[in-house]
Amino acid sequence: MTEPELDVHREPADTAAALREDVRYGFSAAQKWLPAKWFYDARGSELFEQITKLPEYYPTRAEREILAREADEIARVTGAPTLVELGSGSSEKTRLLLDGLRSSGTLKTFVPLDVSASALEEAVTAIRADYPGLDVRGVVGDFTEHLGLLPGGPPRLVVFLGGTIGNFLPAERSKFLRSVRDVLTEGEWLLLGTDLVKDPDTLMRAYDDAAGVTAQFDLNMLRVVNELLGADFDLSRFTHESYWDADNEWIEMRLRAREEMTVRIPGADLTVRFADGEYIRTEISAKFRAAGIAAELAESGFAVQRWWTDEQNRFGVSLARA
112 or 152: CB nearest ligand AVJ: 112
Query: Taking the complex as a whole, how short is the minimal distance between the CB of residue 48 and ligand AVJ, in angstroms?
Result: 6
| 8 A C-beta contact, residue 278 and residue 250 | no
What does the DSSP 8-state code read for residue 198?
-
To the question of whether residue 142 is assigned a binding role by annotation, the answer is yes
Residues 26-85, interacting with ligand AVJ (CB under 6 A): 51, 59
| 8 A C-beta contact, residue 314 and residue 195 | yes
To the question of whether residue 37 is assigned a binding role by annotation, the answer is no
**From 44, 141, 166, 267, residue interacting with ligand AVJ (rule: CB under 6 A):** 166
Distance (Å, rounded) from C-alpha 265 to C-alpha 129? Answer: 42
DSSP notation for 48-96: HHHHTTSSS--HHHHHHHHHHHHHHHHHHHH--SEEEEET-TT-TTHHH
82 or 90: CB nearest ligand AVJ: 90
**From 106, 164, 220, 300, residue interacting with ligand AVJ (rule: CB under 6 A):** 164
- Looking at the DSSP bridge assignments, the partners of residue 239 are 256
Burial class of 190 by CB neighbour count within 10 A (0 to 12, 13 to 18, 19+): buried
* Beta pairing class for 189-195 and 315-321: antiparallel
* Beta pairing class for 82-86 and 109-114: parallel
188 or 208: CB nearest ligand AVJ: 208
| 8 A C-beta contact, residue 85 and residue 91 | yes
* Window of 8-16, 100-108, 162-170, 231-239 that interacts with ligand AVJ by CB under 6 A: 162-170
Largest CA distance in the chain: 61
Query: Taking the complex as a whole, how short is the minimal distance between the CB of residue 283 and ligand AVJ, in angstroms?
Result: 5
155 or 162: CB nearest ligand AVJ: 162
**From 45, 285, 300, 318, residue interacting with ligand AVJ (rule: CB under 6 A):** 285
* Window of 18-26, 156-164, 257-265, 266-274 that interacts with ligand AVJ by CB under 6 A: 156-164
Residues 194-233, interacting with ligand AVJ (CB under 6 A): 207, 214
Where does this chain bind ligand AVJ (CB under 6 A)?
51, 59, 162-164, 166-167, 207, 214, 253, 283, 285
Query: Binding site for L-histidine: what residues are annotated?
Result: 57, 167, 207, 283-285
Query: Binding site for S-adenosyl-L-methionine: what residues are annotated?
Result: 87, 93, 114, 142-143
